[in-house]
Amino acid sequence: MSRWDVADVMTVGAVSVQEDTPFKEIVDLLEAHGVNALPVVDAFDRVVGVVSSADLMAKIEFAGDDDRVRLFEARHTRQARGKAHATAAGDLMHAPAVTITGGASLPAAARIMEAAGLKRLPVVDDLGRLVGMVTRRDLLKVFLRTDEAIHRDILAEAADGLPGVEATQLRAEVDDGVVTLLGQVERASVIPSLTRRIERIDGVVDVVSHLSAVLEDEARPYQAPVMF
């Protein structure tokens, strides 16, 4: 079964800056390459942080402001105020950087981005060196897989190893990534497992099951005993 990983969709050879890269050069690079963030690397090309357009905005937000500590001021506001006086990437960046390896799965990358509230991740090798960047938009490339490719994966492995499921008794129709399952299985209890397996195939948008079963053996939801 095809399994795409981060290396299949990332941009190879991402533009980066070093800790001593000046403020205006960072702005020039963001504009020239049409990106909102740049990884910051050390002398060995290891990612040590990320500097984004949001980090640079403090220079505008707090321009001409004084440095007095405000009572009850939020921590992130104090940090932003400090960046208003920064002139190089090392003082502007978020560190440590949240990174991912090229061998990580697309679901893993999506979960990391969602949990950290990020739109992009630096991709690193086993030594932490920068090899590329992956964005949310890159992850969506998996849905560009053709219906034919998805159908081949379903035929090849979707039913493999599931008891009571014979590939010859199944028929799958794929239309714009939506899979419709037709046919019959031995036990109804296996249908949810089969459906979830197909949902995990790269490029599947949804699965609609019209499967029937010889034996209706779906387990009933557990109900706790009533105590008197």
Sign of CA dihedral 123, 127, 130, 132: negative
Q: Comparing 6-142 with 145-215, is the CATH topology the same?
A: no
What is the separation, in whole angstroms, between the first and last Cα of the chain? 53
Per-residue model confidence (pLDDT) at position 168 = 81
Average pLDDT, the chain: 88
Fold of 145-215: Alpha-Beta Plaits (3.30.70)
Residues 144-191: pLDDT tens digits? 999 999 999 998 887 787 777 887 888 999 999 999 999 988 889 889
Per-residue model confidence (pLDDT) at position 148 = 96
Per-residue model confidence (pLDDT) at position 222 = 44
Percent of the chain's residues with pLDDT above 90 = 67
What residues does each domain of the chain span? 6-142, 145-215
62-66, 80-84, 113-117, 212-216: least confident range: 62-66
| Separation CA 114–CA 227 (nearest Å) | 42
Looking at domain 6-142, its CATH superfamily turns out to be: CBS-domain (3.10.580.10)
Closest by Cα among 89, 93, 98 to 79: 93
Q: pTM of the full predicted structure?
A: 0.79
Residues 30-82: pLDDT tens digits? 999 999 999 999 999 999 999 999 999 988 887 766 666 555 566 676 677 77
DSSP state of 141: G
Where are any strands of DSSP class E within the chain?
Answer: 11-12, 17-18, 37-41, 47-52, 100-101, 120-124, 130-135, 170-175, 178-187, 206-215
Q: Locate all alpha helices (DSSP H) within 40-167, ordered by sequence.
A: 53-56, 58-61, 75-83, 89-92, 106-116, 136-139, 147-153
Sign of CA dihedral 108, 130, 1, 145: positive
Per-residue model confidence (pLDDT) at position 162 = 79
